Amino acid sequence: MATLDGLPPLRDVIDRFGLDARKALGQNFLLDLNLTQKIARTAGPLEGITVIEVGPGPGGLTRAILSLGAKKVIAVERDPRCLPALAEIESHYPGRLEVIEGDALKTDFASLVPDGPVRIIANLPYNVGTQLLVNWLLPATWPPFWQSMTLMFQKEVGQRIVAEEDDDHYGRLGVLCGWRTEARMAFDVPPQAFTPPPKVTSTVVHLTPRDNPLPCDVTKLERVTMAAFGQRRKMLRQSVKSLGGEALLQKADIDPQRRAETLSVEEFVRLANAL
């Protein structure tokens, strides 16, 4: 089978290095190089761009990003079994791939970034994807170090990321993403595209940072969204009782009989600023 970049087919790479996907690491390998190119293209033109990737595994998406002209890929991989496969890609693209062995949740990504534009493109491990997204969304300083994020999640998570008020999927994640970014779902990826196939459909989400999000303290916004959606079926006067209840809602000019899923991002910001 011919490949797009002159490197061996991914199935051969997986067999040669014994890379069975491990559930404990949230691994599902994407082997279709046309599909990995489609994900990379969703991030826009990559010439001259540095890309951060998390969980490259055998390197399918890494290869697509490099073949589309990215200046450099910095890949963070926790599974040492994948390092020899990634070393082959490194040799094929000299000076353009840097692999860091480590836990993405403990990585200071901003410190990895050289001068120049940076985009995050990743098929995130299912078990840490949401937490990584929140970490990238909530740095103390804004705009962030990244220019855009093109990320693959389970479809249900993607729906929560782009959801707005009065949507069944709307929750804390939708508020945080809507506050600081413009997010859209790009396309779905069926289970059979992966090895092993997950039980759910995946989706690719593209996020770009808002230049001037509404002024708000990150910690306070986290507190009010956690309280409000922690008891989402209750009226706000009950769900935010621990934060001040009716007095807080009155200060923010929000009807205490409303429920969390009816509040816009702007209203949640008002509520956080009233704390």
What are the residues whose beta carbons fall under 8 Å from the beta carbon of 141, sequence distance 6 or more? none
pTM equals 0.93
CATH 3.40.50.10490 fits 10-209, yes or no: no
What local confidence, expressed as pLDDT, does residue 2 receive? 47
pLDDT in tens, 37-72: 999 999 999 999 999 999 999 999 999 999 999 999
In angstroms, the CA 198 to CA 194 distance is 7
Residue 116, pLDDT > 80, answer: no
Q: What is the mean pLDDT of residues 110-131?
A: 88
What mean pLDDT is predicted for residues 255-274?
97
**Segments making up each domain of the chain, as ranges:** 10-209, 218-274
Indicate whether 207 pLDDT > 70.
yes
pLDDT digits (tens, 9 = 90+) for 15-31: 998 888 777 776 788 88
For the domain 218-274, what is the CATH superfamily, name and number? rRNA adenine dimethylase, C-terminal domain (1.10.8.100)
